[in-house]
Amino acid sequence: MLVSTLLGEDLHSDGQFVVVSNSQGVTILDDIRPVLSYQRAATSQQGKWPRADYVHPLYDLDGQCITEDFPGDHGHQRGVYWAWHQVLVAGRPIGDAWACIDFQWDVEQVEVDTTEDNAAIHATVIWKSPALTDEKGELLPLVQEQIVIVVHHAHADVRWIDFSVELLALMQDVEIGGSADEKGYGGFSARLKLSDDMRFTGVGGEIEPVTTAIDAGPAVDISGESSGVAIFSHPSNPNHPPPWILRRSQSMQNVVYPGRQPTPLSQTQPLTLRYRLGIHRGKWDAARIDAYQQLYRAEFEKPPSPAK
């Protein structure tokens, strides 16, 4: 009852998972430890950078928050999110979902399914923009987003969290793209708390971030001395293996899609993007990252067993 009092009005549990729902969103706990919260309601900081439809806080295996929201250096960045600078209709920019400018996420429905193995958040989100209205001034539906976030139980030194993002255009000639510069950043991103001893490792070994996107392979692990977060791109993603924008301080970590050049969204066949986070203790080497990537290639719904 204490959790319900602190976090929301509606609490239910199935097995070891606890789901707390309120007007702001949904929080998942694994037994007594918080795992993540999905932000359903629009939120802003004194009216700046209004946004919804993202994960924050995200917690490590000891229940410590490892993401940032409204950071002082980039107020538009937020937790774990998926957004694009370029949102175009018939070639005309109608909003910037990355920078939270002239953009609106209407989270119409959120459901949570729990089993003994996982808790899955299902959300339906409609994209809108004040730059796109009908003759009455009503905002027109632009894109339907279906998001599924699957939280698995922590095993030994790792917890897996799977993300699936489906985008279906609700009108003709809709395109999305990253920043219209040499960086091209946009897509699935994480604004993580970074320590001075942070190390970036991929399947090919240690990685040194630079200003522009780099070829780091299908997965990148960002680890400090005691814990880390690994980000995996699923082989079914259209640009796999993707470019990466990586930062040692004051910014997000981004799995780039589609890059600077916008890509069209279909009205009949949704674009599906899948990613996995591994929240873990210790530092992971290239061999372990590669082994987990191969397991991710082989299966999507079931979490891999932790390495011995």
Position 98: which residue type?
W
Q: Which two tokens stand for residue 147?
A: 């998001």
What pLDDT was estimated at residue 226?
83
Phi, psi of 296 (to 5 degrees): -65, -35
- Nearest to residue 85, comparing CAs of 276, 291, 258, 204? 258
Please report, to the nearest 10 degrees, the dihedral formed by the alpha carbons of residues 85, 143, 129, 212 taken in order.
0
CATH code of 71-298, in short, is 2.70.98
pLDDT at 8: 44
| pLDDT computed for residue 224 by the predictor | 87
User: What pLDDT, on a 0 to 100 scale, did the predictor assign at position 304?
Assistant: 54
DSSP assignments along the chain, one per residue: -HHHHHH-SEEEEETTEEEEE-SSEEEEEETTEEEEEEE-S-EEETTEEEE-SEEEEEB-TTS-B-B-BS-SS-TT-BSEEEE-SEEEETTEEEEBTTTTBS-EEEEEEEEEEE-SSEEEEEEEEEEE-TTSB-TTSPBPP-EEEEEEEEEEPPBTTEEEEEEEEEEEESSSSEEEE--SSSS---EEEE-B---TT-EEEETTEEE---SS-EE--SEEEEE-SSEEEEEEE-TTSTTPSPEEE--SSSS-EEEE-S-SS-EE--SSS-EEEEEEEEEEES---HHHHHHHHHHHHH-SSSPPPPP-
- What's phi and psi for 176, nearest 5 deg? -125, 150
Q: pLDDT means per 10 residues in the chain (308 residues)? A: 38 72 96 96 97 98 96 96 98 98 97 95 98 96 98 94 98 98 97 93 96 96 92 96 96 97 98 98 95 89 52
Token digits for 77? 């960045």
Between CA 111 and CA 275 the distance in angstroms is 20
pLDDT of residue 4: 35
- Which pLDDT score, from 0 to 100, does residue 120 have? 98
The pLDDT assigned to 137 comes to 95
pLDDT at position 197, please? 87
User: What is the pLDDT at residue 306?
Assistant: 53
Q: State residue 9's pLDDT score.
A: 47
| pLDDT value of residue 158 | 97
